[in-house]
Amino acid sequence: MNFKDHIRVIMDYPQPGIRFKDITTLLSNGPVYKEAIDSIAELVAGKQIDVICGPEARGFVVGAPLSYKLGIGFVPIRKSGKLPYESIEASYDLEYGKDKLAIHADAIKPGQKVLIADDLLATGGTISTCVDLVRKLGGEVVGTAFLIELSYLSGREKLQEIDVASLITY
């Protein structure tokens, strides 16, 4: 299946010159969404994964169904101040500013093998921060998985030692 056929591209959003990749058109089509998750599962097949982490919010729509498909747990990485229990945080740069992410301090056990899943790999800032948080808790990041990769933004360069699986590449 050509998944790009199910991604709406919006010109000049959120600012002039940006070609925003809108995944809501893929997500709203049940059979296509299912096939996309199944295809990502095939991309990471063979990896030993104990748990999947995904950053808020769109990482949840890739990571949670992927964890369900693989029969393993899902750990949300949330925006600062959103988690109810003791957590650790890290700051990072976005394409359009700065932000903070947090994970529960007991969410990852030392030595656990973690796959980080998100909707999009752009500059790599969000995912690098997720990698740092998992490693601070003693987890081993065994790979990353994305619905979309914007290769022209060179996000892979921030993840050089980590396997990157992308379903769609622009």
Tell me what pLDDT residue 93 has: 76
Kindly state the tokens that stand for 22: 């809108």
With beta carbons less than 8 A apart as the criterion, state whether 63 and 134 touch: no
Q: Is residue 35 part of a domain?
A: no
Catalytic residue among 8, 19, 42, 95: 95
CA gap 62, 92 in Å, rounded: 21
CA gap 140, 82 in Å, rounded: 24
Q: Is residue 165 part of a domain?
A: yes
Q: Is residue 59 part of a domain?
A: yes
pLDDT in tens, 143-157: 999 999 999 999 999
pLDDT in tens, 51-66: 999 999 999 999 999 9
Q: Is residue 103 part of a domain?
A: yes
Tell me what pLDDT residue 96 has: 63
Q: Report the run of H or E that residue 136 belongs to, with start and end.
A: helix 125-136
Q: What is the CATH number of the domain that holds 91?
A: 3.40.50.2020
Tell me what pLDDT residue 163 has: 97
Catalytic residue among 58, 89, 140, 156: 58
Establish whether 8 is a catalytic residue: no
Q: Is residue 19 part of a domain?
A: no
Q: Is residue 115 part of a domain?
A: yes
CA gap 101, 78 in Å, rounded: 6
CA gap 96, 116 in Å, rounded: 22
With beta carbons less than 8 A apart as the criterion, state whether 9 and 150 touch: no
Closest by CA position to 6, among listed 155, 147, 165, 150? 147
Question: Which parts of the chain have pLDDT scores under 50?
Answer: none
Domains: count for the chain: 1
Q: Is residue 20 part of a domain?
A: no
Where in the sequence is the domain holding 88, given as residue range(s)?
47-169
Tell me what pLDDT residue 113 has: 98
130 residue type, one letter: C
Q: Is residue 120 part of a domain?
A: yes
